[in-house]
Amino acid sequence: MPKFCPAQTGSRLEKVLRNISIATFRACQCRDYARVDLRIDHAGRPFVLLEINAMPGLSMRSSYVLADTAAGYGFAKLVNRILDVAQKRYPGINTA
């Protein structure tokens, strides 16, 4: 199945998808980063596809990195952002 990133959705559907993703992330008590797999049925109703991937791949061809690139960030910035979020959760751990 081909990947389209960013998806061609209107701003209203984009907001619904974002809200579903955030709610799923929080309901599953994920930390730092995750990928929520969404689909839209023939009637236009979005739903979570079976899972949330709490540790999605970070290879240069992965969906997570593809989405990050489409949003205008680079790979290094993505990895550093994940590390920054994790370090805020564990402020006493020295990374040096």
E-strand ranges in the chain read 35-40, 46-53
Going from N- to C-terminal start, the domains of the chain cover 11-89
Residue 41's nearest CA partner among 21, 82, 13, 64 is 13
Tens of each residue's pLDDT in the chain, 96 residues: 676 777 778 788 889 999 999 999 999 898 888 888 888 888 988 888 777 877 778 888 888 888 888 888 888 888 888 888 888 887 776 655
Specify the fold of 11-89. Answer: D-amino Acid Aminotransferase; Chain A, domain 1 (3.30.470)
Give the global pTM: 0.65
